[in-house]
A and B are shown apart, each in its own frame.
Chain A
Amino acid sequence: MTQASWAYTDTVKEHFMNPRNILMDEDGYKEDGKGVTGNVKCGDEMIVVIKVDKEKGIIADCKWKTFGCASAIASTSVLSEMVKGMKLDDAYNLSAKDINRELGGLPDHKVHCSVLGDKALRMAINDYYVRNGMEGKIKKEEERVVCKCMNVTDQEIEHAVLEGARTFYELQEMTKVGTGCGECEQEVTQLLEAYKTKHFCEV
C-alpha cells in the first residue's frame, strides 16, 4: 500500500459506486445473526446480518447497512462478498488487512473506518451462536491491561494505532500509556509494531 496516499483504488471506487448486498428490508430479513457497532454520534454506524447454512456451518448470505464514509461502504461491500460460502470460523478470523488487500488498499488514515464491517460481522456470528445455544463457540476478545499505571489496555493501543499513532511517543500522547513508571515501554513497543504490521503492512 502506498504510504499516506489519499487516492482510492479503482476497486474501492467500484464498490463505493455499486455497493453489494445492502440490507434494504431490515424488518423482513430473517437473519440468523445480527451485529451492530459504532455510533452515529461518532459518525460511523454499521449493521451486518447473516444467514447461516446450519448443516455446513457456512455463511449463506450476508447483508449490511451503514452510516459511514466511503471506506466503510466499500470495505463492507467487499466483506459481504468475501464471506458468502465461508466457514463461520474463517469468516470470524478475517482481519481488516484481508479486506484491505481485496480492496487494493485504503489510504492509511481511512483504515480504521474499514474495521467497522468485520467487527459487526464478528458480532453477528457471535449472535448466531447465542441464538442457537452455542455460547461455547464464542471467542471473546479479551482486553488486557498493559500499562498498569495509566490503566491502558491492548485494545486501546490497537485503537490508537488505527487512529494514526505510529511511534511510542504518539501512543503516549493519545493514550497516556507508559507515562507512569515506564515499566511497560517494552511491551507497548512490541504491541505497537504488531498492530502496525497487523493493520498496515502487506506480508
Chain B
Amino acid sequence: MSPKEIYMDNNATTPIHPEVKKVMIETMDVFGNPSSLHASGRQARQLVEEAREEVASFIGASPEEIMFAGSGSEANNTVLSAVTCQRKQCAYHQEGVNEIITSTIEHPCVLEASKCLQERGVNVLYLGVDEYGKVSLEQLRDLLTERTGLVSVMMANNEIGTVQDIKGIAEIVHERGAVFHTDAVQAVGKIPVNVRELDVDFLTLSGHKMYGPKGIGALYVKKDAPFCPLIRGGHQERGRRAGTENTLGIIGLGKAIEMRSQEMKSDEKHLLELKAALKKGIEENIPDVLFVGHPTDCLPNTLNVSFEGAEGEAIILYLDLEGIAVSTGSACASGSLDPSHVILAIGLPAECAHGSIRISLGRENTMEEIAYMIDVFPRVIGKIRDMSTVYKRRLQ
C-alpha cells in the first residue's frame, strides 16, 4: 500500500481543515456551560454566538434562525418528525394536514424518517427523478394538495451530486401553502447557498462535510416557520433543541464555515479541473463506462461512474489495496449488499446499481493524485472484468 492514502471520499466525510483544528485545540479549555452567567459561561456563550453568526451570514440567514444540532441527520429528523405532532397548541397542528412529499433519492436519514412517519399514519408521497436525478416540478405540482404539510427535497445528492432547482421547488410549494425543507448537507460549502434567495423554510447543513468536526449540524429555521422540537428539556437554542451545547463542535463548525467563505470559490475551480481531468482519463482509458448524474447541475467534486460488468465492492477494495479511497453509494449502504437506491431511482438496471462508484474529491486532492488514479483504474477494472460473468467483451 502506498504510504499516504489518496482520499477521494469527501462526500462521506472530509478531513478537518488545519485552521479548524487549530481553533478547536486552542479552545479545548473553554469548558464553561454557555447557559451559565459567570465568566467562564459567558466566554463559551460568546464563542457559540460568534459561530452562529458565521453560519448565518454564510447562508444569508440571521443568527436567530440558526439552530445547532447533533448532526445533519438529527436536523433532518427534527423537521420531519414535527409533522406528526398532534398537540392542538403545536404550531404544526393543522386540521386535515397529514401528508408530506419527499423524493426517492433522499439520504437514508430522510427516507427512514419518512417511513416511520408513514407507520405513524402520515401519508408520504415520493417524487421520482429523471435519468439525471432531477425531480420533476410538474409531478410536484400534481402531488401537492391542501393536505400537504411539508415538502422535503435535498439540494444536492450525496451519491451522484445532482443539484435540484430548489428555488423553483420552494416557489411551487409555497403557492400551495405548504412548508419547504431542504437537506443541503452536501451543498453548503461546495456551492453558493442563500436561504433568502432560495426562499426555503428549513435547511440542514453538517460540519463534517465541509472540513469541520463530526457530530455537529445546523438547521436553518425561517423566522415564524412552524417549529416543534425533537429534543425537549431545556431552553437552549431558543427552546428548539434541549441539551447543553456542543461548544467545541459549534466552534469548529463556525471556523469551517469561515474558511469555506474564504476558499469555496477557488476550491470550486480546483475541483472542477480535477474532475474534468479524471473524467477524461476514465473515458479515454476504460471502455464501457457510464457517468451517472447531471452533466452540468452537479456538485463540482462528485463523479459517479458505473463500469459495465464490474462489481462495486470489488472495485472499492482493489482501489483500497492500491491506496485509493472511494466508495459505492452512501457510506451507510456500503456495509450492506443492497443496490444503491439512487441509481435504481434514476432508472439504471440493478447491475449498474451494484457497480457504480462514487468519487468525491476534496480541497486537498492534487493533479498528481488524479494521474495516479488514472494509471491504476484501468488495471483494476480490467482485472475484475476478466473474471466477470457478465462482461463479455473479449480481447482478440
Contact = CB atoms under 8 A, between A and B. Distances in A.
Contact of B386 (A13, A24, A36): A24
B371 interface: no
A22 B386 contact: yes
A16 B339 contact: no
B79 to A, nearest CB: 29
Interface stretch (A40-48, A85-93, A188-196): A40-48
Contacts of A73: 314, 387
Nearest to A45: B389
B314 A40 contact: no
Nearest to B316: A70
A159 interface: no
A17 B387 CA distance: 12
A134 interface: no
A173 to B, nearest CB: 14
B350 interface: yes
A24 to B, nearest CB: 7
Contact of B389 (A8, A24, A40): A40
B309 interface: yes
Interface stretch (A60-68, A135-143, A147-155): A60-68
Given A19-B387, A65-B389, A43 B350 contact: yes
A69 B386 contact: no
A68 B350 contact: no
Given A43-B337, A73-B314, A67 B388 contact: yes
Contacts of B335: 109
A87 to B, nearest CB: 27
B139 to A, nearest CB: 27
B199 interface: no
B87 to A, nearest CB: 32
Nearest to B309: A67
B350 A13 contact: no
A41 B350 contact: yes
B313 interface: yes
Nearest to A77: B387
Interface in A155-173: none
B288 to A, nearest CB: 14
Given A13-B321, A17-B321, A66 B350 contact: no
A138 B327 CA distance: 43
B386 A40 contact: no
B292 to A, nearest CB: 17
B351 interface: yes
A45 B390 CA distance: 9
A41 B353 CA distance: 9
A40 B321 contact: no
Interface in B302-359: 309-311, 313-314, 317-318, 321, 335-337, 339, 349-351, 354
B390 to A, nearest CB: 5
Nearest to B387: A22
A66 B354 CA distance: 13
Interface of B is mostly: loop
Contact of A43 (B309, B339, B386): B339
Nearest to B321: A17
Contact of B311 (A8, A67, A109): A67
Contacts of B311: 43-44, 66-69
Interface string B92-118: 000000000000000000000000000
Given A13-B321, A43-B339, A70 B390 contact: no
B337 A65 contact: no
Interface string A30-43: 00000010001111
Q: Which of A46, A69, A109, A113 has most chain B Cβ within 10 Å?
A: A69
Contacts of A22: 386-387
A42 B350 contact: yes
A40 B390 contact: yes
Contacts of B389: 36, 40, 45-47, 65-67
Nearest to A40: B351
Given A13-B321, A17-B321, A43-B337, A67 B351 contact: yes
A130 B310 CA distance: 32
Contacts of B309: 67
A69 B309 CA distance: 12
A150 B285 CA distance: 53
Interface string A11-30: 00100110100111000000
Contact of B388 (A8, A36, A42, A65): A65
A107 to B, nearest CB: 9
Interface in B260-316: 309-311, 313-314
A191 to B, nearest CB: 23
Contacts of B387: 19, 22-23, 64-66, 73
A134 B192 CA distance: 71
B222 to A, nearest CB: 40
A70 B328 CA distance: 14
Given A24-B386, A41-B350, A70-B314, 4 more contacts: A40-B354, A67-B310, A67-B351, A70-B313
28 contacts: A8-B317, A13-B321, A16-B317, A19-B387, A22-B386, A22-B387, A23-B387, A36-B389, A40-B351, A40-B389, A40-B390, A41-B350, A41-B351, A47-B389, A66-B311, A66-B387, A67-B309, A67-B311, A67-B351, A67-B354, A67-B389, A68-B311, A69-B311, A69-B314, A70-B313, A70-B317, A73-B387, A113-B337
